[in-house]
């Protein structure tokens, strides 16, 4: 478990660096990605708190597929890290598998800004998958901005659920 | 005083009319000037057989009162119904406290054409201000009425009228829990004569008028991904002009009609590009890892305003295209977006988050001369401000209850109207340029 924990830390550091706008690929990123990619039997903390291995799709199906964001932010919250790692490991182990990441925003602010924000969110999730071993050719991103809210209504409760990235498998 | 050919050229718009929608927006003035100018518009006398398809004087009356600058005299309060000078007794109109009087007459020319003649009087001075004859097809009387209202508005305010202009907007109706119907629609400025330009099960965004009023650029997700399309209003013909991977959004026509500013993320994140429409040449004009979006041309076409979060929160920046010199324009508050400039270059209308980190997103106007920012609306979920070509009002989208509706406010905040709709959400309004 120690090795896995190290991998996770490296991957997170790399992801944070990327999210913060570092466009060059640092050695930390490579180390993290390599570590994740070679660790095929890795396990991660599932959404329900149980340890799941990323080997079978039945296990992946139990993982969290919606990841939430703060207002005007595109930083993946820590609560989503372990599930995203598990998704990444499944993708790494199954090169034929592909995911679609849909980025969304709440209705506040302007539509075109929100669609760019939704794209940043989808890209942030995509980077976390990639530094954990998923290939860029396995990930498709699209942003809908505020055009497709999950919840109707105009309070913080609905807005929080609308600021999201939805991950879905387009091929197993 | 008025060129009749101007009116004739109005006829061009929308010979192509695939679908008339029943649902219609209506203008409801919620606040007018504190001392509006009183005008009486007398029903125009019709000398032909049968009834005309439109009540021309009523449309003129509505245009004037919906501007918020005038109050109009109800027909029931009129003491006489003159149609020409010889029948006008100014005392009748002084008694009803009308400062100005409009009378008119419509005569048949053929089965399909009529001639109109209207006269505008100053009641207090007992003087004629304007007499104008014009001709119209019987099925274009509404256009004729808006044209007449434009002339009267200009004669009485000194500003050009915008009653002959049109708006486009997007409507969204949820059909089932999984499906919605999106429509790009166009209507007269007052919501009348709505027509569907495009219908889709996927979102439609960001309609933008070309400067000549003949084309609309917009974003459609109909293929499952966002692409920018240009559609010709006269024929309905359209072309997909940008469809890179990632964002293809926020199209904005340059004032000379030769260029389209737009947002692409094909190089990694949202950046602003300028597309030369004739040569197809695409030039990237911003370069930052933050969001750069919502380009909007200054009226002289030499600079672009845009929204960027490069400073940590969305703010308005201005980019001079020839020199690539860039300046930050907004500093007040932590959210300023989607700016557009008034035709005189003095003001920016934009969306401003008011009350610090509060949840009110208001229409605001920034005076570029004094740097004063005035918040014009209080509802809180405003977006997509679009300025009427005569700068009389800013039209915007907002929420009323659980419905997306259009509302408008004048730049000085004195005139307000809303455009309630019968069903679905209405959003993303774009006001046309002058069409004649």
Contacts 24+ apart (CB under 8 A), A50-56: A52/A86, A54/A86, A54/A87, A54/A88, A54/A89, A54/A90, A54/A93, A55/A90, A55/A93
A154 vs B247, B268, B381: nearest CB: B381
Determine contact: B268 vs chain A, CB below 8 A: yes
CB contact at 8 A, A165 and A150: no
**Of residues B349, B301, B348, B303, the one with CA closest to residue B326:** B303
- pLDDT of res. B359: 80
- pLDDT of res. B6: 55
For residue range A111-148, list pLDDT tens digits in order: 999 999 999 999 999 999 999 999 999 999 999 999 99
- pLDDT of res. B132: 96
Q: How far is CA B237 from CA B187, B197, B229, B261, B272, in A?
A: 19, 10, 10, 21, 26
B291 vs A120, A153, A154: nearest CB: A120
Contact call for B361 and A23, based on CB within 8 A: no
A117 vs B291, B294, B338: nearest CB: B291
Q: Which residue of B has its CA nearest to A144?
A: B203
A119 vs B270, B309, B399: nearest CB: B270
Q: How far is B428 from chain A (nearest CA, A)?
A: 8
- Confidence band for B51, pLDDT divided at 50, 70 and 90: very high
Q: Which residues of chain A make contact with B429, given a CB cutoff of 8 A?
A: none
Q: Which residue of A has its CA nearest to B170?
A: A147
* Least-confidence region, from A13-22, A30-39, B127-136, B247-256: A30-39
Q: How far is B378 from chain A (nearest CA, A)?
A: 14
Determine contact: B82 vs chain A, CB below 8 A: no
Average pLDDT over residues A82-95: 97
Contact call for A112 and B293, based on CB within 8 A: yes
- Confidence band for B23, pLDDT divided at 50, 70 and 90: low
- Confidence band for B48, pLDDT divided at 50, 70 and 90: very high
Q: What is the share, in percent, of chain A residues with pLDDT greater than 90? A: 65
A11 in any annotated domain:
no
Determine contact: B351 vs chain A, CB below 8 A: yes
- Nearby residues of B197 by Cβ (< 8 Å), 6 or more positions away: B168, B183, B184, B185, B186, B216, B231, B233, B236
**Of residues A37, A40, A121, A125, the one with CA closest to residue A81:** A125
b/e map of B14-31 (b: 16 or more CB within 10 Å)?
eeeeeeeeeebbebebee
Written as one string, the DSSP assignment of A150-166 is SS-SSSHHHHHHHSEEE
Contact call for B205 and A115, based on CB within 8 A: yes
* Least-confidence region, from A19-28, B48-57, B296-305, B388-397: A19-28
Q: Which residue of B has its CA nearest to A151?
A: B177
Q: Which residues of chain B make contact with A149, given a CB cutoff of 8 A?
A: none
The answer, yes or no, to whether residue B356 has pLDDT greater than 70, is no
Q: How far is A109 from chain B (nearest CA, A)?
A: 6
Q: How far is A110 from chain B (nearest CA, A)?
A: 5
Contact call for A147 and B203, based on CB within 8 A: yes
Residue A64: CATH number of its domain: 3.30.1330.60
CB contact at 8 A, B364 and B350: yes
B361 vs A108, A112, A123: nearest CB: A108
Contact call for A112 and B383, based on CB within 8 A: no
Q: Which of B309, B429, B430 is the best mutation test for A, with the most CBs of A within 10 A?
A: B309
Contact call for B361 and A152, based on CB within 8 A: no
Instruction: Please count the residue pairs, one from chain A and one from chain B, whose beta carbons lie less than 8 angstroms apart.
Output: 92
Contact call for A112 and B381, based on CB within 8 A: no
A88 in any annotated domain:
yes
A111 vs B205, B225, B359: nearest CB: B205
The answer, yes or no, to whether residue A151 has pLDDT greater than 50, is yes
d(CA B42, CA B73): 9
- The burial class, CB within 10 Å (0-12 / 13-18 / 19+), for A163 is buried
- pLDDT of res. B248: 97
A12 in any annotated domain:
no
Stretch 292-321 of chain B: residues touching chain A, C-beta under 8 Å: 292-294, 307, 309, 313-314
As for how many domains chain A has, the answer is 1
Q: Which helix (H) or strand (E) holds A2?
A: helix A2-19
Contact call for B335 and A144, based on CB within 8 A: no
Q: Which helix (H) or strand (E) holds A84?
A: helix A81-93
Q: Which domain holds residue A88?
A: 42-170
Contact call for B247 and A123, based on CB within 8 A: no
For residue range B99-112, list pLDDT tens digits in order: 999 999 999 999 99
Mean pLDDT computed over every residue of chain B: 93
Tokens linked to B104: 């008119």
* Least-confidence region, from A14-23, B30-39, B228-237: A14-23
d(CA B265, CA A116): 9
A23 in any annotated domain:
no
For residue range B387-422, list pLDDT tens digits in order: 999 999 999 999 998 899 999 999 999 999 999 987
Q: Which residues of chain B make contact with A119, given a CB cutoff of 8 A?
A: 246-247, 265, 269-270
Average pLDDT over residues A97-105: 98
- pLDDT of res. B24: 79
B337 vs A110, A141, A148: nearest CB: A110
Mean pLDDT computed over every residue of chain A: 79
- pLDDT of res. B378: 86
- pLDDT of res. B242: 83
A98 in any annotated domain:
yes
Determine contact: B289 vs chain A, CB below 8 A: yes
How many residues does this entry show for chain A? 172
Average pLDDT over residues B168-184: 94
Q: Greater confidence, B344 or B177? A: B344
Contact call for B294 and A112, based on CB within 8 A: yes
- Confidence band for A54, pLDDT divided at 50, 70 and 90: low
For residue range B75-92, list pLDDT tens digits in order: 999 999 999 999 999 999
A6 in any annotated domain:
no
* Least-confidence region, from A115-119, B8-12, B242-246: B8-12
Contact call for B338 and A108, based on CB within 8 A: no
A29 in any annotated domain:
no
Rounded to 5 degrees, φ, ψ at B216 are: -125, 130
- Confidence band for B4, pLDDT divided at 50, 70 and 90: low
């Amino acid at each position: 478990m120690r090795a896995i924990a190290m991998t996770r830390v490296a991957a997170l550091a790399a992801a944070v660096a990327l999210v913060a706008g570092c466009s060059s690929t640092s050695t930390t990123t490579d180390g993290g990605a390599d570590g994740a990619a070679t660790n095929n039997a890795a396990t991660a903390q599932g959404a329900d708190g149980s340890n799941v291995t990323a080997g079978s799709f039945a296990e992946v199906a139990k993982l969290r597929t919606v990841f939430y964001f703060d207002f005007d932010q595109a930083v993946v919250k820590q609560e989503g890290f372990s599930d995203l790692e598990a998704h990444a490991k499944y993708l790494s182990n199954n090169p034929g598998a592909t995911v679609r990441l849909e980025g969304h925003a709440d209705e506040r602010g302007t539509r075109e800004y929100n669609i760019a924000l939704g794209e940043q969110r989808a890209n942030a999730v995509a980077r976390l998958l990639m530094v954990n071993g998923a290939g860029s050719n396995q990930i498709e991103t699209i942003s809908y901005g505020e055009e497709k809210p999950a919840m109707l209504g105009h309070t913080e409760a609905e807005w929080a659920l609308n600021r999201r990235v939805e991950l879905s498998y387009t091929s197993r | 005083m008025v060129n009749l050919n101007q009116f004739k050229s109005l006829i061009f718009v929308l010979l192509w009319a695939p679908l008339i929608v029943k649902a219609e927006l209506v203008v409801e003035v919620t606040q007018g000037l504190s001392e509006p100018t009183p005008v009486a518009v007398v029903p125009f006398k019709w000398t032909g057989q049968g009834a005309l398809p439109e009540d021309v004087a009523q449309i003129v009356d509505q245009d004037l009162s919906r501007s918020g600058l005038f109050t109009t005299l109800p027909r029931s309060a009129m003491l006489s119904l003159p149609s020409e000078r010889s029948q006008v007794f100014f005392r009748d109109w002084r008694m009803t406290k009308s400062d100005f009087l409009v009378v008119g007459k419509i005569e048949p020319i053929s089965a399909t054409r009529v001639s109109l003649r209207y006269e505008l009087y100053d009641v207090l001075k007992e003087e004629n201000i304007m007499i104008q004859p014009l001709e119209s097809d019987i099925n274009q009387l509404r256009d004729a009425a808006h044209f007449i209202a434009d002339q009267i508005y200009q004669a009485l305010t000194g500003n050009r009228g915008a009653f002959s202009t049109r708006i486009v907007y997007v409507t969204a109706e949820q059909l089932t829990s999984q499906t919605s119907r999106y429509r790009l629609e166009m209507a007269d400025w007052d919501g009348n004569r709505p027509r569907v330009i495009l219908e889709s099960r996927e979102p439609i965004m960001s309609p933008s008028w070309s400067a000549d009023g003949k084309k609309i650029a917009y974003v459609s997700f109909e293929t499952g991904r966002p692409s920018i399309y240009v559609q010709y209003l006269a024929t309905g013909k359209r072309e997909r002009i940008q469809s890179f991977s990632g964002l293809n959004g926020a199209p904005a026509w340059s004032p000379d009609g030769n260029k389209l500013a737009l947002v692409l993320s094909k190089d990694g994140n949202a950046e602003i590009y300028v597309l030369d429409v004739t040569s197809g040449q695409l030039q990237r004009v911003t370069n930052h890892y933050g969001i750069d979006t919502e380009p909007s041309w200054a009226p002289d076409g030499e600079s672009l305003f845009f929204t960027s979060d490069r400073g940590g929160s969305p703010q308005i920046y201005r980019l001079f295209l020839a020199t690539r010199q860039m300046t930050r324009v907004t500093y007040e508050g932590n959210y300023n977006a989607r700016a557009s400039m008034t035709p005189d270059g003095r003001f920016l209308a934009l969306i401003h988050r008011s009350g610090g980190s509060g949840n009110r997103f208001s229409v605001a106007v920034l005076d570029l001369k004094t740097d004063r920012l005035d918040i014009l609306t209080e509802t809180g979920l405003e977006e997509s401000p679009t300025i009427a070509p005569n700068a009389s009002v800013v039209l915007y989208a907002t929420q009323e209850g659980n419905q997306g509706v259009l509302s408008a406010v004048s730049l000085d905040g004195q005139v307000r109207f809303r455009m309630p709709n019968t069903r679905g959400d209405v959003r993303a309004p774009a006001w046309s340029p002058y069409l004649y």
